[in-house]
Amino acid sequence: MAKRSKLDNVMTDARESDTFIVVLGQTGAGKSTFINTAVGKEVTRVGHELKPQTQKVRFFPVTHPKDRSRRVIFVDTPGFNDTHIEDSETLDHILKWMELSFSSRIRSTRIGIVYLHEITQNRGDANQAGMSPVKLCTPGIKEKVVLATTKWQELPREEGLRRLQQLMEKYSRSIAVAEFQDTHTSAWATINPIFEVDRLSQRVSSRFSFDVIEESFHFFTAMYP
């Protein structure tokens, strides 16, 4: 397998008040499209070929549309199930970027995960991938994960809803499940559950921290030979 080049685009001005939305998913799931739509302009190139466009971790700060005092950082990541790169290496690459971007002062930064899943994909296909939504349904991390379905325009609405129901039956007791419809409003509605958990967790003086996601990512990586 090929090795990723050295890290770049490390974030140097992370604030404790930031909310990071780490966008994960298999290659071609629509991560760049999701980020462009949420930001409101094209900030990352969308791939239309088999070769993935996102091969490095990149970040895009934006002001929350309903709270001008809150900065949200969308983190675009390389895709899983890539024929050229092992999922374990991709996870390690993401984690190293986070370690370099978050100083010790920022390790309690709010972090949420959006895992994109093509609604056209069969359930079995998703579970065969090394990194899948199943691996995010673990205590300590699942509370800040949203499974967002994409590419609804490629299926009849009725079939899409049937598949969404299957996903909800499988995952909704563990993680939030959302429908991303390629609109700015839909993108922000998708990540709303993450902000809601933030609001509730602040009441009990508890935060989803970098240390939790670091432990979880190391757990995922250890599952691969």
Tens-digit pLDDT profile for residues 106-131: 555 578 889 999 999 865 455 445 55
Average pLDDT, the chain: 77
Q: How far apart are CA 100 and CA 191, in angstroms?
A: 25
Contacts by residues 37-46 (CB-CB < 8 Å, ≥ 24 positions apart): 37/182, 37/183, 37/184, 37/186, 37/187, 38/62, 38/74, 38/184, 38/187, 38/188, 38/191, 39/74, 40/184, 44/76
Minimum mean pLDDT among 25-39, 49-63, 127-141, 168-182: which range?
127-141
**Taking the model in full, what pTM does it have?**
0.81
Q: Name the more confident of 3 and 24.
A: 24
**What pLDDT does residue 2 have?**
42
pLDDT in tens, 69-87: 889 999 999 888 877 788 8
DSSP sequence for 3-65:
PPPPP----S---TT-EEEEEEEBTTSSHHHHHHHHHTS--SPPP-SSS-S--S-EEEEEEET
Give the pLDDT of residue 210.
57
DSSP state of 167: H
Statement: residue 223 has pLDDT above 50 = no
> Per residue in 191-202, pLDDT tens?
988 887 665 554
Report CA dihedral (179, 22, 199, 119) to the nearest 10 degrees: 10
pLDDT of residue 201: 53
Tell me the percentage of the chain whose pLDDT exceeds 70.
68
R_g (Cα) of the chain, nearest Å: 16
Q: Kindly tell me if the per-residue pLDDT of 105 is higher than 60.
A: no
Q: Are 182 and 188 in contact (CB under 8 A)?
A: no
What is the rounded distance in angstroms from the CA atom of residue 198 to the CA atom of residue 147? 17
Average pLDDT over residues 195-211: 53
- pLDDT at residue 33 in the model: 93
**Percent of the chain having pLDDT more than 90?**
31
Say what angle helices 31-39 and 184-203 make with each other, to 10 degrees: 80
The 8-class DSSP code of residue 193 comes to H
Report the half-sphere exposure of 81 (CA within 13 A, side-chain side).
18
Residue with more model confidence, 224 or 144: 144
Domains present along the chain, CATH in parentheses: 19-222 (3.40.50.300)
Helices 87-101 and 210-222: crossing angle, nearest 10°?
A: 160
For 15-58, how does the pLDDT look when each residue is reduced to its tens digit (9 = 90+)?
A: 878 888 999 988 888 999 999 999 999 998 876 554 555 578 99
pLDDT score of 5:
45
Residues in CB range of 81: below 8 A, 6 or more apart? 26, 27, 87, 129, 130, 131
